């Protein structure tokens, strides 16, 4: 249902120089499945996901050789009006910060109804009300009627996050993109929300892209996993397989950096050094300077994604 093919995006820096933020990203997502995207801060996860509904900065330069195919339609070729129709109705976005994504002076019911009116002209008030209640119920409001007139500040953090999910789900979108939707809430609520999102994509037959730093969360929710670093995908394939037997040294290092309750006294292993900024992306492997396994050729030429078996692609000379 979604295929991103060789997608590259550049932005201009303060000196007006073009900087490549995403470099030849290719990913795919099937109906009813969840694709997880993980990677360090600044690796390009948000830029990539915002590229799908074209919510990227207006000055972005998108290379014409790339494609973003949604149900066979190339989204990069759509006009702004065609894109507006898709946004919210077919492709919905759940943002990280609920309070900044909601209108503080509008009751919940009206905010939800607004999304419907933006896309449906011939709809009765009664139909809108039914859709609002259904979305609130789906996203986990126990007694939705009670919350219809609530303002965002009257909702707890978890309720606000659920309200955002309701806004995203209200028109039954085919693709839900969730950019770190659970980082602002506590762990037990996180689990509840993840279970809910998982059952929604199953029952509604929609697909989801789920972005997070937290590989533990992705283990629960994602079918496929893409590991991003410095604007590139370094490992991609079946989530379970990657987490069980990571092929790329960066993925192994990310997993080793996860805190584990079972090893109470052992601190997780931090990855030394920093991710290079896209302005200083090395010509060879982007991870080479931090990689404990790097060999001479890793610094000289760039490895591209190649099949390593078991449904996993990996961009590493040592794994192919």
Ligand X SMILES: Nc1ncnc2c1ncn2[C@@H]1O[C@H](COP(=O)(O)OP(=O)(O)OP(=O)(O)O)[C@@H](O)[C@H]1O
User: What DSSP element (H or E) covers 156?
Assistant: none
Closest CA to 1 of 20, 22, 27: 27
Segment near Mg ion (CB under 5 A); pick from 38-46, 85-93, 126-134, 253-261: 38-46
Cα 133 to Cα 124, 163, 234: the distances in Å are 15, 11, 42
Q: Which residue do the tokens 């990280």 mark? A: 96
**Quick check: 43 binds Mg ion (CB under 5 A)?**
no
Which does residue 21 touch among ligand X, Mg ion, none (CB within 5 to 8 A, set by kind)?
Answer: ligand X
User: Could you tell me the smallest distance in angstroms from the CB atom of residue 26 to Mg ion?
Assistant: 20
Segment near Mg ion (CB under 5 A); pick from 39-47, 130-138, 169-177, 280-288: 39-47
**Quick check: 51 binds Mg ion (CB under 5 A)?**
no
Closest CA to 128 of 104, 111, 152: 111
Identity of the residue, 46 or 190, whose beta carbon is nearer to ligand X in the bound complex: 46
> Within 10 A of 58 (CB to CB), how many other CB atoms are there?
5
- The one-character DSSP state at 290 is G
Identity of the residue, 38 or 193, whose beta carbon is nearer to Mg ion in the bound complex: 38
- The one-character DSSP state at 169 is H
The contact set with ligand X (CB under 6 A) reads 11, 21, 39, 41-47, 57, 277-278
User: Could you tell me the smallest distance in angstroms from the CB atom of residue 277 to ligand X?
Assistant: 6
Which does residue 103 touch among ligand X, Mg ion, none (CB within 5 to 8 A, set by kind)?
Answer: none
Which does residue 44 touch among Mg ion, ligand X, none (CB within 5 to 8 A, set by kind)?
Answer: ligand X
Which does residue 158 touch among ligand X, Mg ion, none (CB within 5 to 8 A, set by kind)?
Answer: none
Identity of the residue, 112 or 233, whose beta carbon is nearer to Mg ion in the bound complex: 233
**Reduced to 3 states, what is the DSSP secondary structure of residue 14?**
coil
User: Could you tell me the smallest distance in angstroms from the CB atom of residue 227 to ligand X?
Assistant: 11
User: Could you tell me the smallest distance in angstroms from the CB atom of residue 16 to ligand X?
Assistant: 12
User: Distance of alpha carbon 228 from its chain centroid, rounded?
Assistant: 11
Closest CA to 229 of 19, 66, 44: 44
**Quick check: 212 binds Mg ion (CB under 5 A)?**
no
Distance CA 184, CA 155 (A): 14
Q: Which residue do the tokens 């990855």 mark? A: 271
Distance CA 88, CA 173 (A): 7
Distance CA 87, CA 175 (A): 10
Identity of the residue, 46 or 161, whose beta carbon is nearer to Mg ion in the bound complex: 46
Residues 68-107 that bind Mg ion (CB under 5 A): none
**Quick check: 46 binds Mg ion (CB under 5 A)?**
yes
Identity of the residue, 45 or 89, whose beta carbon is nearer to ligand X in the bound complex: 45
Side-chain-side CA neighbours of 202 within 13 Å: the count stands at 9
**Quick check: 190 binds Mg ion (CB under 5 A)?**
no
Identity of the residue, 53 or 278, whose beta carbon is nearer to ligand X in the bound complex: 278
Kindly give, in sequence order, each residue whose CB lies less than 8 Å from that of residue 5, ignoring residues fewer than 6 positions away. 26, 66, 67, 68, 69
Name the site residues for Mg ion (rule: CB under 5 A): 46
């Amino acid at each position: 249902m979604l295929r991103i093919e060789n997608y590259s995006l550049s932005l201009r820096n303060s000196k007006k120089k073009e900087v490549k933020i995403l470099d030849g990203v290719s990913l795919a997502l099937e109906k009813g499945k969840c694709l997880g995207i993980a990677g360090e801060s600044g690796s390009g996860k948000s830029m990539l996901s915002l590229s799908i509904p074209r919510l990227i900065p207006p000055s972005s330069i998108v290379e014409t050789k790339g494609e973003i195919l949604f149900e066979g339609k190339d989204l990069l070729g759509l006009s702004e009006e065609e894109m507006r129709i898709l946004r919210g109705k077919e492709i919905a976005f759940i943002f990280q910060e609920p309070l900044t994504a909601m209108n503080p002076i509008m009751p919940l019911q009206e905010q939800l109804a607004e999304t419907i009116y933006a896309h449906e002209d011939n709809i009765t008030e009664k139909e809108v009300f039914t859709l609002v209640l259904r979305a609130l119920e789906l996203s986990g409001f126990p007694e939705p009627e009670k919350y219809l007139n609530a303002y965002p500040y009257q909702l707890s953090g978890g309720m606000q996050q659920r309200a955002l999910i309701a806004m995203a789900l209200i028109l039954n979108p085919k693709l839900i993109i969730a950019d770190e939707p659970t980082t602002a809430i506590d762990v037990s609520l996180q689990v509840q929300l993840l279970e809910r999102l998982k059952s929604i994509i199953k029952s509604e037959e929609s697909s989801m892209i789920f972005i997070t730093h937290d590989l533990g969360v992705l283990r629960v929710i994602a079918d496929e996993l893409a590991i991003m670093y410095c604007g590139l995908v370094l490992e991609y394939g079946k989530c379970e397989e990657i987490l069980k037997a990571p092929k790329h040294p960066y993925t192994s290092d990310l997993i080793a950096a996860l805190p584990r309750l079972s090893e109470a006294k052992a601190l997780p292993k931090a990855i030394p050094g920093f991710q290079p900024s896209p302005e200083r992306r090395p010509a060879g492997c982007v991870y080479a300077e931090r990689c404990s396994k790097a060999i001479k050729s890793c610094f000289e030429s760039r490895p591209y994604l190649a099949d390593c078996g078991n449904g996993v692609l990996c961009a590493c000379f040592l794994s192919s």
